[in-house]
Every structure is written in C-alpha cells, then in structure tokens.
C-alpha cells in the first residue's frame, strides 16, 4: 500500500526546491527548442540539407541541456510543456503568415501583369 503522507511530502519538497530562474529558463529554452524543431520539419519538407542538419545539431544540444534539469526535479516539466506549446505555435503561425504574404504578392504581381497587357494592347 502506498503511504500517501510520505508521497505528498516528497512532492512538496520537490516543489519547494524549484529554482524560479531555472523554471523560467526552461520555459524559454523549450520555446526556442520547439520553434527550432518546427523549422527543422519545415526545412525537411523544403529539401534543404544544410539547414536541416544545422537545426538537428541545435536540437540535440538544447535537448541535452534541458533533460539534465527535469531529471533532477519533475516540476520542471511544467515550464517545458508551456514553452514547447508556445514555441510550436509561434513557428507555425510565423510560417503561415509568410506563406500568405507570398501568395498575396504573387496575386498582386499577376494582376499587375494583366493590367500591363491591357494597357499595351
């Protein structure tokens, strides 16, 4: 049978030992990590071997740094999850806006060409 009092004491001690600077740093680190991962996936889709390799090396480095922290205290998983969610959202939203802008520019260029044809005829 599980001794609940001992379990909660362990949980509270771990929470008490959370360093707020490490907590915030992990949220920022995982924001960057997930944004990089999203860019990594996008660069694979674009078949860019050099940028894909660079993203991969950075991902391994950052993952190694973060892993050592949450192994020491599982409470550090919370900022990592928040940072990862925000990082992915940011990277994908940024890519979506860039694609929309490119599509708008192509439509505008096409309209300008059609207008020039009408003027020249």
Mean pLDDT of all residues belonging to the chain? 85
Domain that holds residue 23: 17-120
Dihedral angle, C-alpha 93, 96, 97, 98, nearest 10 °: 120
Query: What mean pLDDT do residues 74-102 have?
Result: 90
Q: Would you state the structure tokens that stand for residue 67, as one six-digit string?
A: 């892993």
pTM of the model: 0.69
Distance CA 104, CA 99 (A): 9
Q: In this structure, is residue 60 part of a structural domain?
A: yes
Give the count of domains, the chain: 1
In a domain, 87, yes or no: yes
Between CA 91 and CA 31 the distance in angstroms is 10
- Which tens digit of pLDDT belongs to each residue from 45-56? 989 999 999 989
Burial class (CB in 10 A: 0-12, 13-18, 19+), 37: buried
Structure tokens at 106: 């192509």
4 lies in some domain: no
pLDDT above 90 for 105: yes
CA distance 91 to 52: 15
**Kindly report the CA angle at 102 between 44 and 84, in degrees rounded to 5?**
45
Q: Identify the pLDDT of residue 1.
A: 57
Instruction: Tell me the pLDDT tens digit for each residue of 4-16.
Output: 677 667 777 777 7
Mean pLDDT over 45-69 rounds to: 86
Question: What local confidence, expressed as pLDDT, does residue 115 receive?
Answer: 86
CA dist 98 and 91 (Å) reads: 11
């Amino acid at each position: 049978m599980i001794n609940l009092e001992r379990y909660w004491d362990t949980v509270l001690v771990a929470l008490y030992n959370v360093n707020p600077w490490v907590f915030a740093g992990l949220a920022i680190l995982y924001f960057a990590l997930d944004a990089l991962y999203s860019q990594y996936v996008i660069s694979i889709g674009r078949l860019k071997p050099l940028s894909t390799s660079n993203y991969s090396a950075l991902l391994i480095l950052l993952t190694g740094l973060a892993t050592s922290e949450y192994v020491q205290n599982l409470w550090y998983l919370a900022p990592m999850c928040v940072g990862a969610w925000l990082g992915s959202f940011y990277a994908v939203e940024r890519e979506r806006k860039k694609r929309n802008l490119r599509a708008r520019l192509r439509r505008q260029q096409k309209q300008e060409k059609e207008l020039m044809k009408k003027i020249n005829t």
